[in-house]
């Protein structure tokens, strides 16, 4: 991967505009996508980034040249491309977004029919190779003849969400919502019309200049204004999204940020209540809380390497009802096994309505029983050598290499894995009800990793 064009990554296309990605490259990608997939109809949309419309136009031109009919969905979120591709029965979909990357970046997430992912192992390499050949002038012009139509799919999308999570009995919670000037505000405005909640809007205007920084609520500085507002009181829940809102983040009534790990447990519990015995997919980074919840609810827990292509494939193979990653990607069978940033919010509002508990109360026990470090990144010279050094330093633990290195001991466990895209290693530590042990082990591991 990446031998030809720097914008092709492990799972998608991403890079600086115009150096790594520009209309010329987008046009070539459109042609390569059309030729490789043999799609007849493809939908596309873009997030709030300023380069989105020009890239969409060039992509359309390339697709049209290969005879592909393009359905332009306009300004939307990534999950709406997943929705539209599968719901309307298109042969494929392309979302123009760079998610939480810096403002000057853009990219593309591609799917084929039924919103099955196109990534490193499933056709992205072929598209990259052909894109390169087209840019070199080594491919004859396409047959042409593809058309273009514009479609507003918001109404159908909102109906779909309300079918996946029926909201009968939802309480009139006071919700502070922040898209961080990303695309989520447009969908949230239309969804809120059907909900009894009292919505307070924060950074709602879609703005590709990112006046409040790139929306990535996993970063403390990105969510600080939301936390400050929640601490003033008067709210039941805080919710925030990244730019293309395929990830959604929660803060409790006191303004405490809830790690994605505990949200996985909550959503698993909520779905297993409605679907006893169903299968849940989880990733190896943090596991104990999820395993306890799924087992207690009588479900089946299946581990899978993290990364959306792996999770979606495993969910299909297992017919899993839900898949959760601690990085705040939540996947649902009723959403064609794709990730959604809106379904988790509706599910948690319904869980709070059903149980009469606040979010803080719902996750409080989990956080006490299984404290975790959160993901800590370290830049290292050699990922493989670091993994080997750490493994050699500990004996007697149960070793699992599904994704990087996991080692489990009676009272604590950790996962250490390299990034797909940079010389970075990511550490997660969890313990059984012993925050002091967690702090000690986290420090011990970081010293070893960074020495």
The vertex-149 CA angle with 336 and 188, nearest 5°, equals 50
CB 39 within 8 Å of CB 68: yes
Q: Bridge-partner residues for 324, per DSSP?
A: 282, 330
Signed CA dihedral, 222, 223, 229, 235: sign only: positive
CB 326 within 8 Å of CB 375: yes
d(CA 224, CA 217): 9
Point out the catalytic residue in the list 51, 99, 347, 373: 99
Signed CA dihedral, 439, 442, 447, 448: sign only: positive
Contacts of 203 (CB under 8 A, 6+ apart): 178, 179, 180, 181, 185, 212, 215, 225
Q: What is the phi/psi pair of residue 232, to 5°? A: -65, -20
Neighbours of 269 (CB within 10 A): 20
Whether 99 is catalytic is yes
Active site residues: 99
């Amino acid at each position: 991967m990446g031998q030809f064009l720097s914008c092709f990554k492990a799972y998608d296309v991403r890079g600086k505009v115009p150096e790594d990605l520009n209309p010329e490259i987008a046009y070539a990608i459109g042609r390569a996508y059309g030729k490789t997939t043999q799609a007849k109809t493809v939908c596309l949309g873009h997030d709030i980034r300023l380069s989105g419309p020009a890239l969409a136009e060039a992509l359309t031109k390339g697709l049209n040249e290969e005879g592909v009919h393009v359905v332009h969905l306009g300004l939307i979120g990534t999950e709406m491309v997943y929705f539209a591709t599968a719901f309307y029965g298109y042969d494929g979909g392309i979302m123009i977004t760079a998610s939480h990357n810096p403002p000057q970046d853009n990219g593309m997430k591609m799917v084929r029919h039924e919103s099955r992912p196109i990534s490193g192992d499933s056709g992205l390499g072929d598209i990259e190779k052909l894109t390169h050949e087209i840019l070199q002038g080594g491919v004859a012009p396409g047959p042409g003849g593809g058309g273009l139509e514009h479609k507003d799919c918001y109404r159908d999308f909102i109906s779909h969400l309300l079918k996946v999570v029926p909201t009968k009995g939802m309480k009139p919670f006071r919700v502070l919502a922040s898209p961080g000037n990303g695309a989520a505000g447009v969908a949230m405005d239309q969804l809120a019309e059907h909900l009894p909640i009292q919505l307070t809007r924060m950074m709602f205007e879609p703005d590709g200049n990112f006046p409040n920084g790139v929306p990535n609520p996993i970063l403390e500085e990105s969510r600080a204004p939301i936390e400050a507002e929640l601490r003033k009181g008067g709210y039941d829940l805080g919710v925030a999204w990244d730019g293309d809102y395929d990830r959604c983040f929660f803060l409790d009534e006191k303004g405490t940020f809830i790690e994605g790990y505990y949200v996985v447990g909550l959503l698993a519990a909520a779905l297993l209540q409605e679907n006893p015995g169903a299968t849940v997919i989880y990733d190896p980074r943090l596991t104990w809380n999820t395993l306890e919840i799924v087992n207690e609810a009588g479900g089946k827990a299946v581990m899978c390497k993290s990364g959306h292509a792996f999770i979606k494939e495993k969910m299909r193979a297992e017919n899993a009802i839900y898949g959760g990653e601690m990085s705040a990607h939540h996947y649902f069978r009723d959403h064609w096994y794709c990730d959604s940033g809106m379904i988790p919010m509706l599910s948690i509002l319904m869980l709070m309505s059903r149980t009469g508990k606040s979010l803080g109360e719902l996750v409080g026990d989990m956080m006490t029983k299984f404290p975790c470090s959160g993901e800590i990144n370290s830049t290292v010279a050699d990922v493989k050598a670091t993994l080997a050094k750490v493994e050699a330093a500990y004996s007697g633990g149960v070793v699992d290499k599904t994704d990087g290195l996991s080692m489990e001991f009676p009272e604590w466990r950790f996962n250490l894995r390299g990034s797909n895209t940079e010389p970075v290693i990511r550490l997660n530590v969890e313990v059984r009800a012993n925050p002091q042990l967690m702090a000690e082990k986290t420090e011990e591991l970081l010293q070893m990793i960074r020495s």
